[in-house]
Structure 1
């Protein structure tokens, strides 16, 4: 028996891949160590979405190298910028995540269908339904690591979801670089079918759909919203990263949608669902973004009023076309980011204030701090229950709460 230590950074897809690495290592007889210094092998699953993250990954790799005898680096930065670790003098094996278990177990790795149940993050099971995307965004380095969409069959993903439920997952997070184009590599649009099939699995659980670009969702919006409307297990939540409110900037970004397509999808959900949550992303300070373009993004933010917004300052990534563009100054990006973040907080705070005084059915998803638990209502809004132990509330429970207050990004609730 040997021991391992694994650290994961970045998106939910990375976390799902790390859980699969762990499952195969445990099937092969390995066990988790208390920390990197006690591990026979340390595994760093990396992200490289922005320059700051890249620097953090290099620093963490150097730290882990000094603490463990054997270091493996995998994930997006390993695949897209593996030479950066070598140039920094990091002594590590650079591997695709699927190759990590075999490398650690010297080729004696059980197949994905063998062995133990999948490993959960508490009550949460992560289901990466595909790898890659159909986009060619001018600023994105992740595509160099993930490539074009590669969609496993629907039945294969349903069986993985069933295994997660069998292992005790009360929430399944369907994830991928772009879930909306699942099946496009086979010439089909399979996401609605997949979600229906997952929701048909016996058991008490909820399903959250991960990031889906507007360009892919636009063609299946009617079918997709039908799936949401008929399945109570599916959170009424969708993550549609618009990135900009300016068609000119979207064209320079080489996004596969324009603002009208994004708005079409939002309107489709508005028309069919009484309560749902829109999550979106904005990149501020793209090299070609003018003051007018930024104003259009601000106007779109105020128009659609998403309840979850990720605001990211543009960061040049090596090898991308946008890296060769003349960038905007750091002060401009900082000011635009601050303005958008302030409006975002107002919008989200107002949405949670509207919940105060209402009664919501929620799933307790995970433990919080100071004897609190984090819950999600049917639209994936976060509600915190405090003093959970004395109230007999724990992760995995379905409870009814009265919303008593809010703190801008989440609400507070008392069990009824």
Structure 2
């Protein structure tokens, strides 16, 4: 049986793939090593979202090649640009193939007491692989392919296993969770979430990235499921990418700005407060000054509380790579302007929380003696002096928000704000 070291880069879906790889390795009797030098095999789960990431992946592969006896490279860059690793002494393969490669032909021997693998108190649940989009700038689609949706019951059982293993937060992930079930002729994310929330136990559920087009067709049903289930964080990540229909068309994003707005309006109608997360690509080759201003206006109008701003970069093998690009200075100026607006919007959202009371789930350790927690709408709240107060990941704490720092808030436990009990 082999000892392994695994490193994961990129999105939550990629981390979910690594959890599944690790589960299957442990089911086969393999065990984690304390680092690449101590491992029989190192596994590098790669990302290739932008050019800088690609460079970092190649550098890390070469480092691991020197540190370990055997190297396996998987993930999006391995699948979309496997030839980039030609000069690295590594076996390049898809996620599903990794356990077989590591086993090297051995029959799996399940270790007794094997449990689902958690990241602390967080259980990652990849509900499907692939998407239904054909975006002109995206290289990830070459790695993941079209949507492949396991049955609802299979995903519910995986979620139940995570809860039984101690998960307090389940992160439902995928390249596009909104099109779950589309390959079977029916979008059914709302049905899956309803079933997961029926599982007995104290836990919360966060839904991962869903493109606006997939969500739009089930927006009423999905918003109703959110409104009816307290276990669901009132949080939705729907990347619009541009406020211009012309740019969205050149991106082949499938949705229009109107559909994005309609999803937001539907959730506004069903939920008292929820967190909208979205993404913008700045400096796409066809983006004009008017297109950029349309994106800025959409950001001001919808006020997302989480915003990812990415400067466009050409990815090899994509249609957008053949387009005549904008100058680097112009892209930098537009990116800076949108980032400044983003920080104002997000800071205002967290400032509005000051003085409010919220029930938060502690998820992980923070810096020093602090912990990171999330409220009902998945807004981050930092609790300081956690060790002294006996607060640790997995705890549910009622806090009053005392201050904020642009992208998160600080909370004090309500009982710490109360007068001390009299000494008897």
* TM-score, length basis structure 1: 0.98
2:249 equivalent to 1:247: no
Shift of 1:106: 2.3
Contact 1:285 1:313 in 2 (8 A): yes
Contact 1:242 1:259 in 2 (8 A): yes
The residue aligned with 2:225 is 227
Q: Distance in 2 between matches of 1:37 and 1:108?
A: 23
SS of 1:283 mapped into structure 2: strand
The residue aligned with 2:182 is 184
Alignment map for 1:41-56 (pairs within 5 Å): 41-56=41-56
Shift of 1:185: 0.2
Alignment map for 1:265-280 (pairs within 5 Å): 265-280=263-278
2:199 equivalent to 1:201: yes
Alignment map for 1:42-191 (pairs within 5 Å): 42-86=42-86, 89-108=87-106, 110=108, 116-191=114-189
Structure 1 residues 322 and 383: CA distance shift in structure 2, 3 A: same
The residue aligned with 2:40 is 40
Deviations 1:14-53 (A, max 9, x none): 1011111112222222221111111110000000011110
Contact 1:183 1:189 in 2 (8 A): yes
The residue aligned with 2:404 is 406
Q: Distance in 2 between matches of 1:378 and 1:46?
A: 32
SS of 1:23 mapped into structure 2: helix
Q: Distance in 1 between matches of 2:245 and 2:362?
A: 40
Shift of 1:254: 0.3
Structure 1 residues 186 and 147: CA distance shift in structure 2, 3 A: same
Q: Distance in 1 between matches of 2:184 and 2:219?
A: 19
The residue aligned with 2:262 is 264
Deviations 1:253-303 (A, max 9, x none): 001100000000000001110010000000000000011100000000000
Contact 1:28 1:108 in 2 (8 A): no
Contact 1:24 1:109 in 2 (8 A): no
Shift of 1:108: 3.7
Shift of 1:111: 9.8
Q: Distance in 2 between matches of 1:155 and 1:115?
A: 23
Structure 1 residues 274 and 110: CA distance shift in structure 2, 3 A: farther
Q: Distance in 1 between matches of 2:367 and 2:118?
A: 20
Gaps of 5+ in 1: none
Gaps of 5+ in 2: 415-424
Structure 1 residues 207 and 357: CA distance shift in structure 2, 3 A: same
Q: Distance in 2 between matches of 1:332 and 1:118?
A: 48
Shift of 1:201: 0.2
The residue aligned with 2:417 is none
Contact 2:243 2:291 in 1 (8 A): yes
Contact 1:180 1:213 in 2 (8 A): yes
Q: Distance in 2 between matches of 1:7 and 1:227?
A: 35
Q: Distance in 1 between matches of 2:164 and 2:82?
A: 37
SS of 2:81 mapped into structure 1: helix
Contact 1:352 1:411 in 2 (8 A): yes
| Equivalent residues, number | 414
Shift of 1:110: 4.5
Structure 1 residues 333 and 374: CA distance shift in structure 2, 3 A: same
SS of 2:114 mapped into structure 1: coil
Q: Distance in 2 between matches of 1:27 and 1:239?
A: 33
